[in-house]
A and B are shown apart, each in its own frame.
Chain A
Amino acid sequence: MRLDGMRTYDDSEVVDAVVIGTGAGGAPILASLASRGLRVVALEAGANFDASKYTSDETEAVAINWMEERLSDGENPTAFGQNNSGKGVGGSTLHWGAFTPRPDARDLKLKTDSGLGEDWPIDPDELTGYIEKVEKFVGVAGPAHYPWDPTRRYDLPPVARNASSDMMIRGCEAVGITATDGPAALVTRDWHQPEHGVRPACANCGSCHQGCRSGAKVSMDTTYLPLAVAKGAEIRADSMVHGIELDASGRVSAVVYTRNGIEHRQRTKALFLCAGGVETPRLLLHTGLANSSDQVGRNYMAHGATQVWGKFPTEMRSHRGYPSSIITEDTVRPADADFAGGYLIQSLGVVPLTLSTTLARGGGLWGRDMVDMMDSYRYMAGVGINAECLPHEDNRLTLTDELDDFGIPKARISFTAHDNEDAIEKHAIRTMTSIVEAAGATSTTVLARTAHTIGTARMGTSADSAVVDADGRSFDIPNLWIADNSVFPSAVIANPALAIMALALRTADRFVAAGA
């Protein structure tokens, strides 16, 4: 994005706030605070990209992903890399799928309803208010009538359906499941984005995960960040934070970061940590801060994201068009559930290297089986879930003794799916297989995977059991705030970015209200 001409601040100047990370958490905060006249600086570990230079080539598109090595273990080790954190001005919104279902109010009260998981210490109606604000500002496409929430309205008509979409609609109809065009954070008409300019209507190019070249897809560098910069925020790219300094009273006084090989120290009155579910806890564990609860790094959650692919007699060529345009919420609380929570189903398009990786890892394929499967690539279409994942203390991020290029220990993330996750998956495989078969698949393949990194600096009501309070403020350090998916007390089955943006706006409001 264009950063020339932006206001800049000196390291030695005590700014009102430093925001670490420019993704779905950091960007709305930056815009919100700058709009109120606060002097704010964002530190982004990645580069500032020119979106027109993104490539649809899967191998090289990883420039926008967080590819620094993480260590995974547990029974279901997370495959990081392209599937998770982003890197660059805009964070993970550079590569996200832009699928934006809203969090279901029932998911925020999971423990009250089921006795399992956690409740969010937030009024669902208040969160919805912020979500509507986000949707209004960034532009979200969706159906005229949302079957599971009749009062809901989307400003933009739904994204074009592709062969996968038609397949899922057909299959759902046949098995009696309600499905419709899903909410997608992209503009289906030319859209004037304040302080950015025109975002052209989506051209159905299918490369959302490789970075949107036109700006049709919502990403922070085409929405909240241009607003922030216009209102006087500074964004420093290529700036990796590795230290946080406290004053004598135990408040954050400065942030230490390295940019182009030179160490800097930005003084500040407040700090917002918005580096995501892995980098946020990693920095806190590295600095030893804000962890009197011993909860930093615990309760790591990854949505179940199992897929069922079918081979069809027709060419599906599902690399064309927005990859996940159809949704059903019929499965949010299935009548025959033997588990807590539920899941969403979406239609799936995919590009070949991504599919082959899932086939190899989640499907165990190699050799002639793999080659045959990829030879039938253009006849394949699928559906996938985003499923509830309960928090468990032993699903945990810790530090290893291997150091990265900045001298920060690499993270080790241990994740094991428990009974509830397994039960959901079983149910979902059954449902998805019936849809894909009813749609006319001649064979089906189930691929296990997970998505998203959630819950490693949880929000709660007690300093004993949570890292931040219901406002997103650290219990230990009064001028440290966290706003990203690490504060989620439970996973919530909606894809996280919309809730992150909404929470970020709310956290900014709480910060200002607190006069901190």
Chain B
Amino acid sequence: MSAARRTVQGVPHDDRPTLFCLHALGSSAREFDALRELLADDFDVVGIDLPGFGEASAATGTSVDEMVGHVVRKIRRHGSTRFVLVGHSMGGKIASLVAARTLDGSSGLFGLAGVVLLAGSPPSPEPMGDDARAQMLSWARAGISGDGHLATADARTFIDDNVGAPLSPENDDRALSDVLRSAAEAWLAWFERGSLEDRAAEVGILDVPALIVAGGSDGPLGEAGQREHNLPMYPRATLEVLAGAGHLLPLERPDELADLIRVFWRERVGSGPFVSPGFGRVIGSGRTSSQTRAILAGRALPDDPDYTPQVLDAAQFATLRLVAERVVPQGPAPFDIAGRVDAALARGVSDGWRNAALPPDQEAYRLGLDALDDFATLDDEAKDSRIQAIVDQQYAPRAGTLTAEQMTLWFEDCRVDLTRTWLAHPATMERIGFDGFANGGDVIRIQGFTELGADRREAWEPAMPGPSARDTGASTTETTDTGITDTGITDTEKETVR
């Protein structure tokens, strides 16, 4: 993928998704320099110095909540609306909390697509030996009573204790100088409070694609620690162990991490549709309520490519996916509408009624799809003819499934479910030019709309694909660069359906 540049609403933007990288204790954004170079073609890698580390002053506060707030502000200022949070060690706990607050709408961010934890500290208290904690606390206290930084000998010990094998001289220098420039009070805050805080209930279960990487020779945050503490919070995570690696993974194994992240993106994150930065900013803005932002954030998450149907069997599900392709021809980045419909059926979501001629929803779906078990053998034209025959009650399914009438009725429900699921995705909302969710934030005096007339737009509204205000003289059907057909139709056509 190239890093093509374009401009959206005057704001410089590039097409690459962003990796917001949160470093470990005693480190800085510089630990991701190697990853940035390795991934530059595919990702905008943005390291964020946490308060008290790197270039960031400890003055903004070194508690977990203050670090979370700091990261949220940095991401908002950056403006990316398609990003992955990468958290190394201490940064892992911060990443999990930022992810939780983004998925529940409260951070005001939009566009989280995945989480990568590198020897991440969990939301629960960090597993750590008493001796190690006491030792590092003593370093921090000594620093505070001294010049505000750790002693060089202590810094040396810290690095040596955390690598699987010695770092390159260049990396070693860099790691050592990062420890030495970090604020001892930030260390103290982490060991006295931050690492001990139990935020697991607050984070809950994060249903987001996740990659968890452990060093094979790491200590308490190695494979066993990751399995026990982080994996249960990320049901969609894959766990990778780098044999022989210690705790400082971005410095020790940047090449392997870059490969893992590329594969993670390609296979588990990057396939679905996403919104433009301008549209994402409106979802993230104070015009959209937190509840609504949370709903849209959940829906914007990439689908699980290995989704196992819960209501339909494998054959029925494969048929539904083929039906969905014909009923809702999506753009170049489709999402798994069929999987979402199966999941809704499994949750028992009801639309409030069913035609009395049909069996209950789940059974109707199974029988309707059984009746289409030859669908895969049809070419596109034949598939569409079959569907139209069903709509027209001209298709007689084989015995043991549904009657022709039932087939028509079930397919009416089916196409409603598929279409509504398609439209519920924020990327579809942008595609069709709907920003009506941004009609009021978390206030009683909701903002609503002031410009209500034709061809009127408010200053906050995002640019929409296609011409935003049509030249009424234009009379030909045109296709925009998004592949969306415009509505200019010269001849009045009437369509009456009952």
Which residues of the partner chain A approach B484 to less than 8 Å between Cβ atoms? 375
Which one, B34-42, B182-190, B371-379, B430-438, is touching chain A? B430-438
Contact between chains at B328 and A213 (CB < 8 Å): no
Q: Smallest CB-CB separation from B483: which chain A residue? A: A375
A72-B412 in contact (CB<8A): no
Cβ contacts under 8 Å, A363 to chain B: 495, 497
Min C-beta distance of A361 to chain B, whole Å: 6
- Shortest beta-carbon distance from A303 to chain B in Å: 16
Closest Cβ of chain B to A282, distance in Å, is 13
In the bound complex, residues from chain B placing their C-beta under 8 Å from that of A62 are 352
The 0/1 profile, CB within 8 Å of B marked 1, for residues 142-176 of chain A is 00000000000000000011110111000000000
Known: A166-B454, A357-B420, A376-B487. Contact between A81 and B449, CB under 8 A? no
CB-nearest residue of chain A to B457: A315
In the bound complex, residues from chain A placing their C-beta under 8 Å from that of B445 are 200, 203, 214
B83 to chain A, nearest CB (A): 22
B459 at the interface (CB under 8 A from A): no
Q: Report the Cα distance A163→B448, complex, angstroms.
A: 15
B455 part of interface (Cβ distance < 8 Å): yes
Q: Is A193 an interface residue (CB 8 A)?
A: no
Residues of B within 8 Å of A351, CB to CB, are: 434, 436
In the complex, chain A residues whose CB is within 8 Å of the CB of B485: 372, 375-376
B242 at the interface (CB under 8 A from A): no
- Is B447 part of the contact surface with A, judged by Cβ < 8 Å? yes
Collect the chain A residues with CB atoms within 8 Å of residue B437's CB. Answer: 56-57
CA A204 to CA B295, docked complex, whole Å: 22
Residue of A60, A68, A200, A370 touching B419 (CB-CB under 8 A): A370
A70 at the interface (CB under 8 A from B): yes
Query: Interface SS of chain B: helix, strand, loop or mixed?
Result: loop
Task: Please name the residue on chain B nearest to A167 by beta carbon.
Answer: B454
Q: Do A207 and B353 touch (CB < 8 A)?
A: no
B355 an interface residue at 8 Å Cβ cutoff? yes
Residue with the greatest number of chain A CB neighbours at <10 A, chosen from B291, B436, B449, B468? B436
Contact partner of A315 (CB less than 8 A), chosen from B292, B448, B455, B497, is B455
Q: Is the CB of A213 within 8 A of B444?
A: yes
Instruction: Given A366-B391, A371-B328, A374-B423, decide whether A442 and B433 contact each other with a Cβ distance below 8 A.
Output: no
Min C-beta distance of B325 to chain A, whole Å: 10
In the assembled complex, the Cα of A363 lies from the Cα of B391 at a distance in Å of 11
Judged by a CB distance under 8 angstroms, whether A481 is at the interface is no
Are A353 and B452 in contact (CB-based, < 8 A)?
no
* Distance, CA A161 to CA B451, complexed state (A): 10
B434 CB to nearest A CB, Å: 5
Closest Cβ of chain B: how far from A402's Cβ, in Å? 8
Give which listed residue, B292, B452, B490, B495, contacts A163 with CB less than 8 A.
Answer: B452
**Which of A200, A376, A378 is B444 in contact with, Cβ under 8 Å?**
A200
A321–B419 alpha-carbon span in the complex (Å): 25
Known contacts A412-B356, A445-B495; 8 further A-B pairs (Cβ under 8 A): A55-B291, A82-B352, A203-B439, A203-B448, A320-B451, A356-B420, A377-B434, A446-B496
The chain B residues found within 8 Å of chain A, CB to CB, are 289, 291-292, 295-296, 326-329, 350-357, 384, 387, 391, 412, 415-416, 419-420, 423-424, 429, 431-434, 436-437, 439-440, 442, 444-457, 464, 468-470, 472, 474, 484-490, 492-498
What residues make up the interface of A, taking CB atoms closer than 8 Å to B? 52-60, 62, 65-73, 77-82, 84, 160-163, 165-167, 200, 202-207, 213-215, 311-317, 319-321, 351-353, 356-357, 360-364, 366-368, 370-372, 374-379, 400, 412, 414, 429, 433, 437, 441-448
